[in-house]
């Protein structure tokens, strides 16, 4: 027990002293995706839950901002059900979902800690591949996503990532425009029938150069105006 306490203390001290990140981070990850459901007129569709795996490459412009390219794969089953059924499907099929996404990541530092919370948006493509026996072909759709979590660094090149993620293939988009004596306006809306929420974690492997520490400069004082005495 004493040895375990010493090891944990050493890891804690190491993490407290390490605040650096690298310019490129490779993050293999695994997670759990919860089931999603889509309601129709007298039936509903369901994509079952399952394990997802993949990874991402993050290009850090600074310690607070980066760009991430992400890949996620999930093999599951989907089916169509009547309302009130005991989950006996009208029809079901194996389904593979592959997401290829990219987007900005904003990180936030905590003074005196190697824990860095982050939030990010994702845009890309979702590839839905049903079982060949179902008679349906693979379909590629535009996809959007959102993620938030935290990175915990043990050293400048090693860390752990914990995050929550929402990915959604976009079914379509619509636009509107109006004009009246009181003004004009317009908008663009997107809609989707699949929302996949997942929780996961990954191992951060730092590549490239170590980024310099962030320096917070207090607001400088304005120089005092100079007064000149004029003689006439």
What residue spans define the domains of the chain? 18-210
Q: Which CATH number fits domain 18-210: 2.40.160.20, 3.40.50.620, 3.40.190.10, 3.30.70.1140?
A: 2.40.160.20
pLDDT tens-digit readout, 5-58 = 444 444 444 444 445 688 899 999 999 999 988 877 777 888 899 999 999 999
pTM, to two decimals:
0.75
Three-state DSSP string of the chain:
CHHHHHHHHHHHHHHHHCCCCEEEEEEEEEEEECCEEEECCCEEEEECCEEEEEEEEEEECCCCEEEEEEEEEEEEEEEEEECCCCCCCCEEEEEEEEEEEEEEEEECCCCCCCEEEEEEEEEEEEEEEECHHHCCCCEEEEEEEEEEEEEEEEECCEEEEEEEEEEEECCEEEEEEEEECCEEEEEEEEECCCCEEEEEEEEEEEEEEECCCCCCCCCCCCCCCCCCCCCC
Where residue 82 falls among pLDDT bands split at 50, 70, 90? confident
Q: What is the mean pLDDT of the chain?
A: 78
Mean pLDDT of 177-192: 40
């Amino acid at each position: 027990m004493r040895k375990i306490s010493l090891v944990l203390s050493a890891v804690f001290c190491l993490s407290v002293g390490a605040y650096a990140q690298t310019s490129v981070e490779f993050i293999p990850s695994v997670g759990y995706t919860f089931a999603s459901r889509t309601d129709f007129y007298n039936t509903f569709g369901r994509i079952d839950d399952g394990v997802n795996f993949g990874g991402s490459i993050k290009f850090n412009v600074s310690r607070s901002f980066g760009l991430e390219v992400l890949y996620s794969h999930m093999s599951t089953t989907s089916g169509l059900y009547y309302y009130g059924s005991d989950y006996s499907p009208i029809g079901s099929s194996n389904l593979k979902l592959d997401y290829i996404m990219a987007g900005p990541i904003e990180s936030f530092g905590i003074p005196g800690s190697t824990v860095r919370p982050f939030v990010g948006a994702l845009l890309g493509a979702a590839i839905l591949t049903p079982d060949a026996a179902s008679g349906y072909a693979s379909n590629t759709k535009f996809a959007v996503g959102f993620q938030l979590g935290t990175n915990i660094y043990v050293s400048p090149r090693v860390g752990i990532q914990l995050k929550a993620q929402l990915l959604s293939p976009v079914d379509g988009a619509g636009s509107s425009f109006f004009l009246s004596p009181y003004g004009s306006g317009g908008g663009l809306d997107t809609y989707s029938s699949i929302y996949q929420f997942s929780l996961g974690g990954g191992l951060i492997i730092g590549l490239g150069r170590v980024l310099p520490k962030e320096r917070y400069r207090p607001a400088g004082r304005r120089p005092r105006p100079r007064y000149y005495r004029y003689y006439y």
